[in-house]
Structure 1
């Protein structure tokens, strides 16, 4: 498999999950600024959407959209328990978290990374994101991970987007549960390996 990624982008979450899963893969750097690979290949010829992540399977098939890729990877190694079995209520709970992270956090951060967005709009989004993280802080009370004591693919995604907060002025310092959670996930060996591989440590 090949994972097309950009350092620190949302593609960090499948990168983490691939390492947690112990699956062999080739990381391929795809610049989100130039939309070119290291060899000069136009990334749009690989992914017409132009963004990461993209997972290319050994069959040549390609998957896009982070939450889908996360579930695909985890389903390849069910014994690792990175995601509950399809059709179970626990699987729907993980999907519930993935949808929340995608729509309520990830999309909001996108506004803050957009240089064309007026500062007034960014201020509104920072306030909204801080409110979402405050709610999340309550949800993490007494839990090691989103699903309780067991790390799941949703944790890889939440960790990835939470790391963006300091870069765009979203203040999370007063949220003790979120801060402890990010530190806890960040200490996992697979997470450390992914961060190191992307030059983020």
Structure 2
């Protein structure tokens, strides 16, 4: 498998999950401005959507969208317990968290990385982030991870998104549960390995 990524972008979550899985994989950076990969390939031919992550499987199939990629990886190694089994209620709770992180957190960070975003748009996004992060902080206040005491792919995604706060002057220290959670996930060897491979630490 090969993961196409941009350092520190949402593709980091898929990278972390690959590292957690223990499966063999490669990574290849993408210049999202030129849509050219590190080896000189046309990224638009790999993923016509033009953004990361994209996971090229050994049979040539390409998966896109982080939550789908992470669930695919998790299902290849059920013994690692990176996602609950398909018929478990906790699997649907995980689906809920992946959707929430993607639509309510991830997308509200987007204006801060968009040169065309107005100050009004950014202010509205910041207000949304404050409310949503307060909700997450309350949820994990008495838990190790999103689903309780067992780490999942949802935690790789949430950790990745929380890491963007420092780039937009959003101080997570107002939510001690979030900073403690962030440190807990950051300490995982797979997280450290993925971040080091992307030059983030």
- Tell me which interval the TM-score lies in, with the shorter structure as reference length: over 0.9
Structure 2 residue runs of 5 or longer lacking an equivalent are none
1:93 aligns to 2:93 (yes or no): yes
- CA distances 1:162-200 after superposition (whole Å, capped 9, x unpaired): 000110122322100001000100010000000000000
Per the alignment, residue 120 of structure 1 pairs with 120
Question: 1:97-176 maps to which residues of 2 (within 5 A)?
Answer: 97-176=97-176
- CA distances 1:3-43 after superposition (whole Å, capped 9, x unpaired): 00000000000100011010100101112222111232221
Deviation (angstroms), 1:84 = 0.5
Deviation (angstroms), 1:87 = 1.9
Per the alignment, residue 27 of structure 2 pairs with 27
Question: 1:52-71 maps to which residues of 2 (within 5 A)?
Answer: 52-71=52-71
Supply the distance in 1 between the matched residues of 2:81 and 2:165 (Cα, whole angstroms): 29
Deviation (angstroms), 1:59 = 0.6
Supply the distance in 1 between the matched residues of 2:171 and 2:123 (Cα, whole angstroms): 12
Supply the distance in 1 between the matched residues of 2:128 and 2:197 (Cα, whole angstroms): 32
Per the alignment, residue 49 of structure 1 pairs with 49
Supply the distance in 2 between the matched residues of 1:84 and 1:39 (Cα, whole angstroms): 36
Supply the distance in 2 between the matched residues of 1:154 and 1:134 (Cα, whole angstroms): 17
Supply the distance in 2 between the matched residues of 1:115 and 1:63 (Cα, whole angstroms): 28
Deviation (angstroms), 1:104 = 0.2
Provide the secondary structure at the position in 1 that maps to 2:178.
Answer: helix
What is the TM-score of this pair, normalised by structure 2?
Answer: 0.98
Aligned residues: 201
What is the TM-score of this pair, normalised by structure 1?
Answer: 0.98
Does the CA contact (< 8 Å) of 1:129 and 1:170 recur in 2?
A: no
Does the CA contact (< 8 Å) of 1:130 and 1:171 recur in 2?
A: no
RMSD: 0.8
Provide the secondary structure at the position in 2 that maps to 1:55.
Answer: strand
Provide the secondary structure at the position in 2 that maps to 1:41.
Answer: coil
Supply the distance in 1 between the matched residues of 2:45 and 2:145 (Cα, whole angstroms): 38
- CA distances 1:25-67 after superposition (whole Å, capped 9, x unpaired): 0101112222111232221111100000001110100100000
Stretch of structure 1 that moved more, 107-116 or 73-82:
107-116
Per the alignment, residue 12 of structure 2 pairs with 12
